[in-house]
Amino acid sequence: MSNLFNMPDEVAHGFSRSAKDFLNALAGIPASAAVAPAVLHEAGARYWGQQWALWSNMLNPQHAADEARRDQRFRADEWTSNAWYNLLRQSYHANAGLLEDMVGATGYNESEKHRLRFFMRQLIDAASPTNYAATNPEAIRMAIESNGESLRTGMTNLFGDLARGTITITDEAAFEVGDNVAASKGAVVFENALFQLIQYAPLGTHVARRPLLIVPPCINKFYILDLQPENSFVRFAVEQGQTVFMVSWRNPDAQTAHTTWDDYLESGVMEAIDIALAITGADKVNTVGWCVGGTILSSALAVIRAREEEKVASLTLLTTMLDFTDPGDLGVFIDEQTVVQRERSIGSGGLYPGRELGFVFQMLRANDLIWPYVINNYLKGKSPAAFDLLYWNADSTNLPGPMYTWYLRNMYLENNLRVPGKLTMCGVPVDLGRVDMPAYVLATQEDHIVPWKSAWRSTQLLGGEAQFVLGASGHIAGVVNPATKNKRCYWVSGEANSNPESNADGWFASAQQASGTWWNHWIAWLQPHAGGRVKARTKLGSMKFRPIEPAPGRYVKTRSG
């Protein structure tokens, strides 16, 4: 498997450690991790009960069909109508359940169990009979109907992906950055070695006095917020009268392989704030940060406040972690040994390849982002459909080693940002409690990267009044929920988020569900911080910061090697 998908060292290391831990747990080694007999007995009883039900249900096709519909991998008719496939499917589920129960029966602590459970789930997902030509009825049927052509095409697809070193998940030829994605009108008005700053053209006669600066993640490209007009957060904000500036991070290469975390603050966010203010002549900016972009933005604002500067009117954080107590599934890849290894290899200079990071994120949702494409591309010989979000997902970015390893150690491993004065950034000790401007903190209910309760903890760290909102869906779809479609829902509460006695569960108990997208709620929240309205400028940039090139600029078009 490592050879087939070019598994990164960090992922392979995690698999090997997890396998060793699992064997030790079953053998009762170490003693502190011995299997709990009562739990193991319960797991065994449940397993044999499932085996009995398995044979009984072979005579009840309707029950089997209802059960199969709950797992989309087994939606083909043969998984219920054919006795052999029905038996195979139910046996797989029973065996998977037993393995998961056995992990639960170990005496490991919750953190170790989480890691073991995650990698066990990867192995369980990989073992699904749907993933293999000999046990996938749809693949067999297509091979027969096409006289083997589907298998031949599948092998061609496989060899093509092996040469690329990644699985093809969308029709990349269907999109072009600057043409049908990242197509909002604007201009690059500043650039340095780290980022380009894009100013978007107004769509009305009047705009907010204070500009809106968006800081996207540096681990992805910014155009997730500007895919196509109907689902573009950028266009929505511009339509609502915001003068939008976007940070477009450079895709790091050998020339920027020594970039540090402080560089991302001082030469990145803080520089962008100053330029947005200079161009618009406003007293303050409103800011938005997404994911690690929000962590970088919050760190920069902590530096600004430590320097007694007041440049920012409000802070919006989209699925961002500031407290890494519970980092979710990403935490299974990070421990002292892994971080030390990365520090030795790239901590003083070098690149963490975007392709490796992309594979890690795919593993978090393997049944959505890996195995369906293995089945369709290789077993069925199909070509992936065109999907703008997946095109963006495949457009990976590198990370500079010094910045990446500092981030791993101080955020994920040691969780230092939440401790006032523990970290010194740009020469000053930082305290998130001094980030005292109003904050809008968005989390999403099914987020597998930033668990929503972890995002909620930001309201306890920031010093200003915080409005917490919980959106439906996950890390991407919960954020990119356009007002044009007004789908899904979100939760809001009048509870004081700054109350130190409150917690995430208590907040949710008092929250009210609202239909549609959080976008409309956010723009209404932002309005009081806009500083009034002024006539929109007909020209972008200024005398000092003249347009360099049309949006989206060169930096976002650079692909990882």
Give mean pLDDT, residues 90-101.
87
Q: Is the pLDDT of residue 35 over 60?
A: no
In this prediction, residue 284 carries a pLDDT of 98
Residues in the chain: 561
Measured distance between the N- and C-terminal CA atoms of the chain, rounded to whole angstroms = 22
A 10 A CB-CB count for 79 gives 25
CATH fit for domain 186-324+388-396+414-557, picks 3.90.550.10, 3.40.228.10, 3.40.50.1820, 3.40.50.1110: 3.40.50.1820
Q: Is the pLDDT of residue 30 over 80?
A: no
Share the mean pLDDT of the chain: 88
Residue 321 DSSP class: -
Strands (DSSP E) contained in 32-132 are none
Residues with Cβ within 8 Å of 337's Cβ and at least 6 positions away in sequence, in order, are none
In this prediction, residue 12 carries a pLDDT of 41
Selection from 234, 187, 213, 184 nearest residue 282 by Cα:
213
Side-chain-facing half-sphere of 533: CA atoms under 13 Å? 12
Q: Is the pLDDT of residue 32 over 50?
A: no
Cis ω before 30 (30° cut-off from 0) = yes
Cα 158 versus chain centre, distance: 26
Separation between Cα atoms, residue 225 and residue 476, nearest integer Å: 10
Give mean pLDDT, residues 27-38.
47
Q: Is the dihedral of CA 469, 470, 472, 478 positive or negative?
A: positive
Q: Is the pLDDT of residue 40 over 70?
A: no
Percent of the chain with pLDDT over 90: 71
- Domain segments of the chain as ranges: 2-135, 186-324+388-396+414-557, 326-348+398-413
Q: Is the pLDDT of residue 36 over 90?
A: no
Is residue 245 helix, strand or coil? strand
Exposure b/e, 18-53, CB count within 10 A at least 16 = b: beebbeebeeeeeeebebeeeebeebeeebeebeee
Q: Is the dihedral of CA 388, 390, 391, 392 positive or negative?
A: positive
In this prediction, residue 479 carries a pLDDT of 96
For residue 163, which amino acid is it?
A: A
Is residue 61 helix, strand or coil? helix
CA distances from 276 to 106, 249, 269, 307, 405 (A): 55, 16, 11, 19, 30
Confidence of residue 39 (pLDDT cuts 50, 70, 90): low
In this prediction, residue 111 carries a pLDDT of 83
Q: Is the pLDDT of residue 20 over 80?
A: no
Separation between Cα atoms, residue 314 and residue 210, nearest integer Å: 10
CB-CB contact of 555 with 222 (8 Å): no
In this prediction, residue 519 carries a pLDDT of 97
Selection from 224, 253, 444, 259 nearest residue 347 by Cα:
259
In this prediction, residue 37 carries a pLDDT of 57
In this prediction, residue 100 carries a pLDDT of 86
Confidence of residue 31 (pLDDT cuts 50, 70, 90): very low
Question: Under the phi-then-psi rule, with left for phi > 0, alpha for psi from -120 to 50, and beta for the rest, what region is 2?
Answer: alpha
Q: Provide φ and ψ at 555, rounded to 5°.
A: -60, -40
Give mean pLDDT, residues 496-512.
78
Give mean pLDDT, residues 501-509.
86
Tokens coding 326:
């519970």
Separation between Cα atoms, residue 483 and residue 493, nearest integer Å: 21
In this prediction, residue 68 carries a pLDDT of 54
For residue range 211-262, list pLDDT tens digits in order. 999 999 999 999 999 999 999 999 999 999 999 999 999 999 999 999 999 9
Confidence of residue 47 (pLDDT cuts 50, 70, 90): low
Per the listing, tokens 């003249």 go with 546
Percent of the chain with pLDDT over 70: 86
Exposure b/e, 107-132, CB count within 10 A at least 16 = b: bbeeebbbbbbbbbbbebbeebbbbe
Residue 106 DSSP class: S
Give mean pLDDT, residues 439-447.
97
In this prediction, residue 545 carries a pLDDT of 97
Beta bridge partners of 207: 534
Separation between Cα atoms, residue 248 and residue 250, nearest integer Å: 7
Helix (H) or strand (E) holding 188: strand 186-191
Confidence of residue 495 (pLDDT cuts 50, 70, 90): low
Separation between Cα atoms, residue 381 and residue 156, nearest integer Å: 8
Residue 264 DSSP class: I
For residue range 190-215, list pLDDT tens digits in order. 999 999 999 999 999 999 999 999 99
Confidence of residue 42 (pLDDT cuts 50, 70, 90): low
Q: Is the pLDDT of residue 527 over 80?
A: yes
Q: Is the pLDDT of residue 72 over 60?
A: yes
Cis ω before 420 (30° cut-off from 0) = no
Selection from 224, 261, 217 nearest residue 423 by Cα:
261
Cα 54 versus chain centre, distance: 38
Of the residues 218, 291, 426, 489, which is catalytic? 291
Lowest mean pLDDT across 82-96, 150-164, 270-284: 82-96
CB-CB contact of 180 with 537 (8 Å): no
In this prediction, residue 24 carries a pLDDT of 41
For residue range 357-407, list pLDDT tens digits in order. 888 888 888 999 899 999 999 999 999 999 999 999 999 899 999 999 999
pTM across the whole model: 0.88
Active site residue 218: no
